[in-house]
Structure 1
Amino acid sequence: MVDMETRHQVYFANRTALVAYATRIVGSRETAEDIVQEAFIRFAPANTNGASAEKSSGLSLAYLYRIVRNLSLDLIKRRRIETRDGEPPYWSMPIEMPTPEDVVLVTDEIRRVSDILADLPQEVRVALEMHRFGGYTLEEVAAHLDISVATAHRHVRTAMMRVATTLARDAS
């Protein structure tokens, strides 16, 4: 096992090279010096089982470089996580509950649209409901109602104009 004196010698002899190595990874000399100091604190020699002092110091140096590398990469990962741009995941955001007034307003508006649709001729109402609510194309609406595509478009447009003008008139 490498003794404490050998660890100190390996560290002090290679400190400048370790700082340069960490600087290349993290991009900041000040941060690299902090990492090298942290590496020395964590530095524990490999068990050499009676190996020569030269061989054990080489193993210790490789181990020290590995500690510096791992600490540098951990710092980079931590920075990436902390500085993520963009929105947090949707499931972590609190849900805004509508106020009772909002619920009443939306309910009244839906009731009003339902009344407007009930007053429309059946063919016009079905065309609007199929196209806007059912997601059918105008061709599919025309085929279902046995009318031309232009007539289906005219029915949808007429119904939408009736809904929009009635809601605008009620709002003012």
Structure 2
Amino acid sequence: MNARDSALQQQMAQLYHDHQSWLSAFLQRRLGCSHSAADLVQDTYLRLLSKGKLPEPAHSRGYLTRIAKGLLIDLYRRRRIEQAYLDELAAQPEHTHPSPEHCSEILEALVTIDRLLHGLPVNVRRALLMRRLDGMSYRAIAEELGVSISSVEKYIARALQSCLQAAQELER
């Protein structure tokens, strides 16, 4: 371990010591569950570690809050996706239910797709969903979005390119 890594470790330990209990209380108020809050506290510091750069002491709480709120949004989004999947699964005949392992894989794929879609600009995402899920024509999408057909073509191409890149990253 070099001097830089050692200094980073010491700064992280101090940051954790100074803010862990406050961050835990902050998350517990929003989640109503100490176990989920503890998980998100750890995820917050893990996210911070993965960046390899710590905030200035005067900005620590704001920085930790921003990371924690992002993780909260991810958690709520994941829960919403999981509930929608479980509701859909419950509506299917029981003999068609996948194994628990396959359910877990499906949920991870759905969360990944959702994350990808929410990373796209609104019109790009809407155009892709209208085309793929609703089967709408480019002309109908253009009318719905109030843009040209050429714009819809560009939106769809951009969305598909993002999907392709995400699939390639998953393969690595």
TM range (shorter): 0.3 to 0.5
Higher relative contact order (CA 8 A, sep 6+): 1
TM-score (norm 1): 0.42
> Higher helix share goes to which structure?
2
Larger radius of gyration: 1
Q: TM-score, normalised by structure 2?
A: 0.42
